[in-house]
A and B are shown apart, each in its own frame.
Chain A
Amino acid sequence: MEATLRVLNELEREGAFVRYAIGGAVGAIFYMEPFLTYDLDVFVVLPATERGLLTLAPVYEALRRRGYPEAGECVDIEGVPVQFLPAYNPLVEEALAEAVETLYEATPTRVLRAEHLAAIMVQTGRDKDRQRFATFLAEAELDRARLDGIIRRHGMETRWKQWTT
């Protein structure tokens, strides 16, 4: 895992993406009891392109040059299947901008804030998000004021009520 994070940091330094942060199941595990997953979801802010397209092609190309070819929707980086997800809406963009800086052993990395992870689960709304959501709320330490702000800014009040009552 640490070697994987070192590669991600190098890619960010080289400009393959502007910024990255861990999200998804491993992001949730940062705040709660570990549960089974085999993928590492990494959200990225991609560099601006002339046509404004969101494409991961330059990221995959940079990884191929380092000997990490993509396999399906993931890239195996030092034994960890990494799935890159471009910032696809304002909530995810904000989550990436405000991600928490942390250390994994001696390697710096970023993880999405618990409040953004909760909001993304609700917004994404898959069955597995719903199953994870209740436990996440029970175990993660959430900043209620920050969470309320996120829900309000992204127009999620109705859905949030549906998920929490």
Chain B
Amino acid sequence: MDDLNPELARLLAAKDARRLRLARASFPEKIAALVCLQTMAAPIQRRRGREVAPWGLAKTPAADGST
């Protein structure tokens, strides 16, 4: 990291710090974040033909009609 532009080094350090902060979050907070991730990724997964649903929600068919 020594050779990096100081601004980039600061941004990368902030990303690492955020990652560690998330790693120390409570289990329910992490599961809430996971469900957000599932919700964001589900349309992409469905377009790839993978039948997925964010936790707590019913599975919905893919946009092309497949499930």
Contacts and interface: CB of A to CB of B under 8 A. Distances in A.
A and B held together in a complex: yes
A34 B27 contact: no
B20 A139 contact: yes
Interface stretch (A24-32, A55-63, A156-164): A24-32
B62 to A, nearest CB: 14
A156 to B, nearest CB: 24
Contact of B55 (A30, A35, A79, A102): A79
A105 interface: yes
A78 B55 CA distance: 9
Main secondary structure of the interface of A (DSSP, over half): loop
Given A34-B34, A36-B38, A104-B28, A79 B23 contact: no
Contact of A30 (B19, B30, B33): B30
Interface in B12-67: 19-20, 22-23, 27-28, 30-31, 33-34, 37-38, 41, 52-53, 55-58
A12 to B, nearest CB: 19
Contacts of B53: 38, 79
9 contacts: A1-B55, A26-B34, A30-B27, A31-B23, A33-B23, A34-B31, A38-B55, A79-B53, A139-B19
Interface of A: 1, 26, 29-38, 78-80, 102, 104-105, 111, 139-140
